[in-house]
Amino acid sequence: MNTKVTDGKQPLFSAKDITYIAAWIGGLVLAGALLWLLTQTPRDKALLNAVNRILEQREAEPRLESLIPFNSLSPRQKRLGTWFSIFNSDKRGLVFTIMNGGILFPYMAVVTPEGFVERLVFLNPQTLQGTVPDGIVNQYILRIERNAKQRRAGNASGEREL
């Protein structure tokens, strides 16, 4: 015989409700991750076209040719941006952004086969280039060169390029 006296209060959420909420959140995360994965190629192509359009408007060289997939086996290698091959050249182009003061500043670095940054191309004509301190830009140049040299060393050991 059950003689427990309860005060009539029920828990705010039952285990079934918590399971439904967790499954709903997990479904949203899974759908977002799947959408991110499946749209990577169209986003990279759109970036390629947008950068080439900006370079054409400025009548600047070089032009980007095709995407170089990011295949890193090393967890130390971080993705700094999107790598592209440069038309009629053995150089590579890295499109990346620097955030300063809550504003994103897009750049393209032209990287030589030896892994050195030949030059930076500022890609946003509406903002002033001088608003990003030189120290931050130099720090990004060092990161890009280190990343390019690591990839080059990986190629010498048999890994796929970039």
Q: What is the mean pLDDT of residues 113-121?
A: 88
Give the pLDDT band of residue 73 (cuts 50, 70, 90): very low
Tokens 């191309």 locate to: 121
Give the phi and the psi of residue 106 in degrees, each rounded to 5: -80, 140
Residue 60 lies in a domain: yes
Which domain, by its residues, includes 106? 38-156
pLDDT of residue 76: 57
Looking only at the bridges linking them, the beta strands covering 117-122 and 92-100 are: unpaired
Q: Is residue 30 part of a domain?
A: no
| Portion of the chain with pLDDT greater than 90, in percent | 19
pLDDT band at 159 (very low <50, low <70, confident <90, very high): very low
Nearest to 113 by CA among 90, 131, 82: 90
User: What value does the mean pLDDT take over residues 40-64?
Assistant: 87
Mean pLDDT of the chain: 81
Q: Above 60 in pLDDT, residue 2?
A: no
- pLDDT digit string, tens, across residues 146-157: 888 777 666 555
**In the chain, alpha helices (H):** 15-38, 40-57, 134-156
Tens digits of residue pLDDT in 5-25 = 556 677 777 889 999 999 999
Interatomic CA distance for residues 92 and 112, integer angstroms: 7
Assigned domain for 66 exists: yes
Whether the Cβ atoms of residue 149 and residue 119 lie closer than 8 Å to each other: no
Q: Is the pLDDT of residue 127 over 70?
A: no
In a domain, 72, yes or no: yes
Question: What average pLDDT does the segment 56-70 reach?
Answer: 82
Backbone angles phi, psi at 111, to 5 degrees: -110, 130
Report if residue 1 sits inside a domain: no
Percent above pLDDT 70 for the chain: 78
pLDDT surpasses 90 at 102: no
Which of 104, 86, 84 has its CA nearest to residue 94? 84
> What pLDDT is attached to residue 160?
45
**Structural domain includes residue 33:** no
Please check whether residue 92 lies inside any domain of the structure.
yes
What pLDDT is recorded for position 115?
Answer: 87
- The encoded tokens of residue 23 equal 């499954």
- Residue 97 inside a domain? The answer is yes
First-to-last C-alpha distance (Å) of the chain:
73
Q: What is the mean pLDDT of residues 139-149?
A: 87
Number of structural domains (the chain) is 1
* Neighbour count for residue 120 (Cβ, 10 Å): 18
